[in-house]
Chains A and B, each alone.
Chain A
């Protein structure tokens, strides 16, 4: 457990997470952070307890105007004929090879599971490699590896980019980020991440990156294409 985590998801984001309101990509990155961060894990538990109280509260806003017309009798009759599960399945330990690293690394369980079908690493500019995962139709999810000295071209975001540092560290104009830090950048930020010692991250974009300087701008149509592809499988 990393005790020096500086950057955490906001309470609002954690609350959306426990209520099941986030897209899968964002849920995964929040869940992975929680596995690395005891305080967020505890906070999410409290938020879930609150969500449950308001869920069962008869006077809560969470009562639907519509009522279900389902056939409850048949539903119950069908359900009680199915067999029960007496033991939780033994968790398969998911091993993932991170080809860009020369050593093995233990990923948070949810990321290991998501990556278990194999990662295809692609080199992009500036010592950066990325491996995309198709998770949902709203977010572009990828592992990003910055080799020591690697630099991402200066860019901004139309929506937001959520990044979880898994190993190593990187910096941008706003600070330095270490393992387990949870960073959100949006359209207000024009930033150029770079890493001295090398860094493995998991990143979730909810709209395409937009490079803002130099020749990298020529790649913007490609970024839009990548986003489209990443969100349609």
Chain B
């Protein structure tokens, strides 16, 4: 599943950064991780949509030290700050598909994940009860609300021409997403990859777009 485009990065002991390419398979181009003008968002989308290890490495290089500094500030404990790098960036990898670019910047999203994991780590270390977690206190603004996205807008016999008539009332981003799913019949993952947006953003735009169409057509929710 993963592209053979693994890039290995080494922070040397004095904190400077050495980078080397481990292996390369150019059959599927990855994000050029050397390119510092590539935005955090582009990297995060590549991680979420295609498990791009090169892109993840680049995010790691950009954020590991900052996460360590945040951990030192909040825990004053080097071991915990190091653990936080692992915890936070594992979370970034795992939740990358949930990132919603319509709700905020990638760095803000990574900050939120890092602060939240730090908060939970500290509570665990102090043996405080897990009745509450950081994600309850600072809810992630994730676009993915699967229960609200229905696959069968057409289930209720509505004339396609009627729907098309309302299409231009959607915003461009919403129309693009609705077209991908309901006209081109792509899966959520395929559509997100095609449009180069995070899965989380695709789902939230789809939800809003479909709700608007239903409203215009007069279909009950």
A50-95 with Cβ < 8 A to chain B: 51-52, 55-56, 62-64, 66-70, 72-73, 75-76, 78-80, 82-88, 90
Q: What class of interface size applies to chain A in its complex with B?
A: 35 or more
Q: Is B78's beta carbon under 8 Å from chain A?
A: yes
Interface centre among B9, B94, B105, B137 (most CB of A within 10 A): B137
Contact of B186 with A by CB under 8 A: no
Partner of B146, one of A63, A76, A87: A87
How would residues 45 to 70 of chain B score, 1 for a CB under 8 Å from any chain A CB and 0 otherwise?
00010010100110010001110111
**Interface: A19 (CB within 8 A):** yes
Chain A, range 212-233, C-beta contacts under 8 Å to B: 233
In the complex the two chains form, what is the Cα distance from A116 to B128 in whole Å? 16
Stretch in contact with the other chain, from B11-19, B24-32, B210-218: B11-19
> Once the chains bind, are B85 and A68 in contact (CB under 8 Å)?
yes
Is the pair B90, A82 in contact by a Cβ cutoff of 8 Å? yes
Is B170 part of the contact surface with A, judged by Cβ < 8 Å? no
Contacts A72-B10, A82-B90 given; does A137 touch B126 at CB 8 Å: yes
Q: Which of A106-114, A147-155, A188-196 contacts B (4 or more CB under 8 A)?
A: A106-114
- Give the docked Cα–Cα distance between A4 and B198 (Å): 38
A76 with B9: CB separation less than 8 A: yes
Q: Which listed residue, B53, B69, B126, B189, touches A80 by the CB 8 Å rule?
A: B53
Please indicate which of the listed interface residues A20, A28, A110 has the most CB atoms of chain B within 10 Å of its own CB.
A20
**Is there a chain B Cβ closer than 8 Å to A31's Cβ?**
yes
Q: In this assembly, does A134 line the interface, its C-beta being within 8 Å of a C-beta of chain B?
A: yes
How far in angstroms is the closest Cβ of chain B from A31?
Answer: 5
A90 to B85: give the CA distance in the assembly, Å: 27
Q: How far is the CB of B76 from chain A (nearest CB, A)?
A: 10
Taking CB atoms and an 8 Å cut-off, the chain B residues in 93-133 that contact chain A are 93-98, 105, 107-108, 111-112, 115-116, 118-119, 123, 126-129, 131-132
| Chain B residues bordering chain A, tally (CB within 8 A) | 67
Q: Nearest Cβ distance between residue B208 and chain A, in whole angstroms? A: 16
- For the complex, give the distance between the alpha carbons of A227 and B33 in Å: 53
Contacts of B123 in A (CB 8 A): 24, 136
Cβ-defined partner of B98 (8 Å) among A64, A85, A233: A85
Query: How far does the alpha carbon of A31 sit from the alpha carbon of B144 in the complex, in Å?
Result: 22
Q: Complex: how many Å from CA A137 to CA B123?
A: 9
Q: Are A82 and B94 interface neighbours, CB within 8 A? A: yes
User: Is B82's CB within 8 Å of the partner chain A?
Assistant: yes
- Chain B CB count within 10 A is highest, among A48, A62, A70, A76, for A76
**Complex interface: chain B residues within 8 A of A69 (CB):** 13, 82
Q: Which residue of B lies closest to A51 (CB)?
A: B111
Kindly state whether residue A197 has any CB partner on chain B within 8 Å: no
Q: List, in ascending order, chain B residues with CB within 8 A of A19's CB.
A: 115
Determine whether the beta carbon of B70 is less than 8 Å from that of A66: no
Q: Report Cα–Cα, A56/B48, bound state, in Å.
A: 22
In the complex, whether A135 has a CB less than 8 A from a CB of chain B is yes
Closest to A19 in B: B115
Give the Cβ gap from A61 to chain B, nearest Cβ, in Å.
9
A133 (CB) vs chain B CBs: closest residue: B131
- Contact call B11/A233, Cβ cutoff below 8 A: no
Type the 1/0 row for A128-169, where 1 means its CB is closer than 8 Å to any CB of B.
000001111100000000000000000000000000000000
* Given A48-B108, A52-B107, A64-B69, 6 extra CB contacts under 8 A: A64-B65, A72-B64, A80-B51, A88-B144, A88-B146, A233-B127
**Pairs of residues from A and B, 10 with the lowest C-beta to C-beta distance, nearest first:** A67-B15, A20-B115, A64-B69, A88-B144, A64-B72, A87-B146, A68-B68, A70-B82, A31-B137, A88-B142
